[in-house]
Chains A and B, each alone.
Chain A
Amino acid sequence: MGLEDGGSAAGAGEGGGGEGERFRVLVVDDSPVDRKIVERLLLRSGNLFEVIAVDGGKKAIEVLGLNYADCSVDLILTDYCMPEMNGYELLKAVKEHKLRKSIPVVLMSSENNPQRMTRCQAMGAEDFILKPLKAVDVQQLRHYTRPAAAAAVAMEAESAAKADGKRKLPPMKVVGENKGSERQPRPRLARVAVS
């Protein structure tokens, strides 16, 4: 994955790296200060996350490779207010894409705007976190992955790809466990009651 201007990739290897799966988080924020802090919060969360950080929605679209079948992003953590393509528009692009719609999207904003939050949740956002992020916010992010749904989409995409003669998808990572058939309860960070 080639990340050029406005993007950087970092793993949790600074601490020696460990065995086991890590969630790959795509951080999208036009503020270099916020990108740096969020990235650091993620990398310090017990070897849970790998981070790709980009400076806007358009770069995020490139990283997500919406024209390609395979994608190894497990979670998108995006700022809401960004120029050119804001967080809501990115969320919409992801949720309206056949192959990417299962990727959980969490939005961040410095503004407590209920209408904005409702709009994002209606479009399928997992959550809406107020900035500045804290360590406890980042710890909660692992609960947003939905491996059962992701695997189902991957299998469907693989069947479609085979039928179309396109290249095979790599096996989808299972990044967490869903106990039981029900979706995990929404974490306490949810700011809006969904009616």
Chain B
Amino acid sequence: MEVRRLQRQYVEFASSLFREGFLDEQFSQVQQLQDETNPDFVYEVVTLFIQDSERLLSELARSIDEQPVDFVKVDAHVHQLKGSSASIGARRVKNACLAFRSSCDGNNFEGCLRCFQQVRNEYSLVKSKLESLLGLEQQIMRAGGSVPTLKC
């Protein structure tokens, strides 16, 4: 049956995201906040995360380009991104932000450049994964099924 196949695919894909560290238990918590009174909650949160992350990454790119670099300003942006990634359960992005903050603390420009690249990479990966996950959710719902609850 199509719904069952999609649900299995969803669970396998989601499990891989947890296993590979892209998502952590916090994402399950976010998913549990979705119900019939707000059936698009996860989609809305992920959309906000993507919009906010892209804004912050643009700000970071601008801040790192400044001469001299204002490490306090850079750190403030990284702190915000760390916070929102932690709130949505995007563990690898959060961890990349933690490393980035260490470079900012040490006023380490080379370190900041490396970390910025790492954060961008991790964000790009998790964005793609989340979009795929939400795409599967939509397919399940269109096929008349319910989205399985994730357990990490």
Contacts and interface: CB of A to CB of B under 8 A. Distances in A.
A83 B44 CA distance: 24
Q: Interface range on chain B: under 10, 10 to 19, 20 to 34, or 35 or more?
A: 20 to 34
Interface in A102-157: 110, 131-132, 134-135
Interface of B is mostly: helix
Given A15-B37, A40-B38, A33 B49 contact: yes
B84 A44 contact: no
A31 interface: yes
Contacts, number: 52
Contact of A81 (B33, B79, B87): B79
A31 B41 contact: no
A76 B79 CA distance: 23
B38 A31 contact: no
B141 interface: no
A170 interface: no
B130 to A, nearest CB: 12
Contacts of A44: 33, 35
A40 B33 contact: yes
Interface of B: 26, 29-30, 33, 35, 37-38, 41, 44-45, 48-49, 51-52, 76, 79-80, 82-84, 86-88
Interface of A: 14-15, 30-34, 36-37, 40-41, 44, 81, 83, 110, 131-132, 134-135
